[in-house]
A and B are shown apart, each in its own frame.
Chain A
């Protein structure tokens, strides 16, 4: 039956794959019925059809697990509502290791699974053989079994949600190609198709690998690039039994599962083949691409190695198709920065079935509630997608690295190898000459540690102390005991000015930013629920002019948050100055001594008190000097216009020579800040936690007039806290911790580590965690418990600190 394109809909969803269907389904569930899904050809004909349908809940972060779990649950139940089964079969999943590093990673994942409440237990070779009779176990070191996961039929899964959406009032139109958009300032007012134009209030871009170019038309950044993606299917073979677990041979870049009595073998290989750099054909429908046998050969060899009987199996099908991948292997979700009521839900990196329902649910919540109510998902948020990322050379060069990443070993501090040197600070070459080993953060090359003379500045990854551990430790101690300089030019800074700038900031910040000129205010930007949207410093440069500093990773997000808070007729203007300023931190007990050698400014406590800022001369440069310290020591952050940066660096290094100044990398900055108990957004604080819970109550001024979240915080204050962020140190100096290790109180699982690092001054690992108690949380209750952390399946006692383990009163920065 031909359905006509309506003239108008509240929500138009572009794309009829699993994500579009899931978004429509969840929107109708939230009561939004006036929804139209536009599909170019047929539902699922883009990439959904070619998915393997694996539903594996365990992912690296609690936020991701919330999404996978929603799909896991919905795919088992939705048939009751729609009568369309998803084909879910609880097969379980087996992971195994053939290298020591992988074996270690699997041990870590066991701990992670405990934190997330997922059964992931080790199994012996006998059990592995029994569950997978075809497997060659010769080189297997260890194996883990997750009994509750399974597989679905991808097309049926999308269809089931489509049926549900239709039943609840959504309209799904196939054979309707989106050609263009009508925009009015920051909104999409209509979607232009080959069947006519449909007006809308709200639009969702869920067009899979077509989303990048549609995004260009919309003026938003949707950095994704397709790569070829392939799988093989054999004829029925003996030993391939229905219901066998999914077998993931991550060291072989392969997964295996039963398919109609044979095996389906899929790949997540290194060095994938990029596809469709110029464009993805608009007539694509269930399309297969020519296979590249040279590319497939190592995968076939690995498959035979793992399943020797495959040497005799007839290969019924080799399917090469394409799927979109993003530069950091994460999705692109949320309301597009700079636009209103325009949402993206794409860049699925070949896990669109697994997370389809979760992405649909969160997108629907974003539309209806204004934020993803069931939990923030910053790692997949489109406010991390900078406009420069649409650079096609960057995307084409990075995309091939992404597919292999999924099954690669997730070493701590692992860096991407492709598309490097995208953004570099003015100090880059100087740091490189002095042994810097760089890591990339959203394209920015940052010196993470410095190799001493004769040592190659290159990561040697492992799950134990990596090759840079001691060097970073020395850098750490240089700042604690002498003086160090670090380059944090990657930090973002904005100038916010205008008659109403103060009022806007007062509305979204917890602290009172109506401070004297030259004063630096540490504050959080809050949401209505009192949750922390950003962690920033605001320096008053003038009555109507503020200098805002935030982490480099959060620039787009924080910029967007402030922008949205500016009323339409307000006299307030926000400019991102990040590319205009470089920044060096000069930190440590001898920081004053060093700086005094290249400035005439009075740097005494009286002349330049802690928490103030002003321009001073440093060599021939005149940076804005801010007396704050993320390292928790005496020091200044020097924000310098980029063309003066190199000269300032040389002046500082010259002045520091006699003092033995040391260049310090960002791994040391992280360990320094942890010792001092400073929070990091989003590791330790995020939109779901309030400053009161995070121990940042000192940064909230309740005497201030109405500000976002004030009411919620007052209620929380009145009712008493039920959870609180605490710092802990691991008593045994040996284990290293990273994130999400399980934390036990009196033997009971109560929390997980938010972020950890090794504190070289305190001599052990430090982390933070939220402790929860339904009856209210008090310091007595906290200190009353006996705490442990699970690291690689072993329990280690930890000591909880109610304030920072190092310099709890913050005196050192003020000396």
Chain B
């Protein structure tokens, strides 16, 4: 079996982001990681291949720095990687999907494709659908349980509120993984060292014939969510406290 796992290179959610310019941020010193949802996909793919044989290919559309993140994914057991290089962190998901498809076409289509249910940086939750459409294969997102049969996959999909629906998809298909699908493994020292030597092919996105000017969604501005200020203790007797609270809601917060 050949399985592609599409992994996005994203800032660690704990990182402090400093906005630079209109729609960018300072990357110096920011720790980047594999998109956490993608890790469920990596684990599932590696487990499947460990059982059935085959290979897992990490496929990333991202900046040059993504190579380090892909090494991390390979340390979890993936066999090789393909990095489609772009200069931007935020790409129209449709273009990302086109790039992913083009790379797969070039490399030879797989039997399955995993993505995360969405990325934790841009959170557009679109790429897996666009990719499935481009490939002309079925897709299930937010998959928290999966089993494979002859030429098919049975996926449990979270539909919100704790409800699930079970889908049967023919292979190949795109699976958007989420929490619950498995417990992603931690790498071991030898795996980390081995990952450094695994094949990682880099392709420029332009060389795949992707025209970035064709994007229909672009990021206009990036703003930091204002930090929540600390709790404020109201002082004085109850009446005074109420009066102060009303004043704050009316004058400072302008909500009443």
Which of A's residues lie within 8 Å of B, judged by CB? 1-2, 175, 235, 281, 283-291, 293-294, 296-297, 300-301, 303-304, 310-316, 320
Contact = CB atoms under 8 A, between A and B. Distances in A.
A283 B187 contact: no
Given A281-B16, A297-B196, A289 B186 contact: no
Given A281-B16, A287-B31, 10 more contacts: A1-B233, A2-B229, A281-B18, A288-B14, A288-B15, A290-B30, A300-B192, A304-B189, A315-B192, A316-B186
Contacts of B231: 1
B230 A2 contact: yes
A311 B190 contact: yes
Nearest to B186: A314
Contacts of B101: none
B31 A303 contact: no
A808 to B, nearest CB: 63
B168 interface: no
B185 interface: yes
Of B18, B192, B196, B233, most A-chain CB atoms within 10 Å: B192
Contacts of B187: 314-315
A300 B190 CA distance: 8
Contacts of B16: 281, 283-285, 287
Interface string B24-64: 00000111100000000000000000000000000000000
A314 B187 CA distance: 5
Given A297-B196, A313-B189, A290 B14 contact: no
A795 B159 CA distance: 79
B31 A288 contact: yes
Nearest to A296: B192
A1 B230 contact: yes
A283 B31 CA distance: 14
B254 interface: no
A281 B68 CA distance: 23
5 contacts: A2-B229, A300-B193, A301-B193, A310-B189, A311-B188
A439 B54 CA distance: 60
B12 interface: yes
Interface string B64-77: 01001001000000
B216 interface: no
Nearest to A235: B186
Contacts of B188: 310-315
Q: Say whether chain B's binding surface is mostly helix, strand, loop, or mixed.
A: loop
Given A281-B16, A288-B12, A304 B190 contact: yes
A651 to B, nearest CB: 57
B29 A287 contact: yes
A292 to B, nearest CB: 9
Contacts of A304: 189-190
B190 to A, nearest CB: 5
B36 to A, nearest CB: 14
What 6 pairs across the A-B complex have the smallest Cβ distances? A314-B186, A300-B189, A288-B31, A1-B233, A283-B16, A290-B31
Interface in B123-148: none
A293 B31 contact: no
Contacts of A175: 230
| Residue of A290, A293, A311, A314 most packed against chain B (CB within 10 A) | A290
Contacts of A284: 16
Most chain A beta carbons < 10 A, residue from B68, B71, B188: B188
Contacts of B229: 2
A71 to B, nearest CB: 30
Most buried by A among B29, B188, B189, B232: B189
B91 to A, nearest CB: 21
A285 B17 CA distance: 11
B233 A286 contact: no
A311 B31 CA distance: 25
A301 B192 CA distance: 11
Contacts of A316: 186
Nearest to A319: B31
Contacts of A286: 14
Contact of A293 (B12, B65, B71, B232): B71
A301 B188 CA distance: 12
Interface string B140-160: 000000000000000000000
B190 A287 contact: no
Contact of B193 (A235, A283, A297, A312): A297
A288 B188 CA distance: 20
A206 B192 CA distance: 38
Contacts of B230: 1-2, 175
Nearest to B196: A293
A253 to B, nearest CB: 15
Contacts of A313: 188-189
B32 to A, nearest CB: 6
Nearest to A317: B186
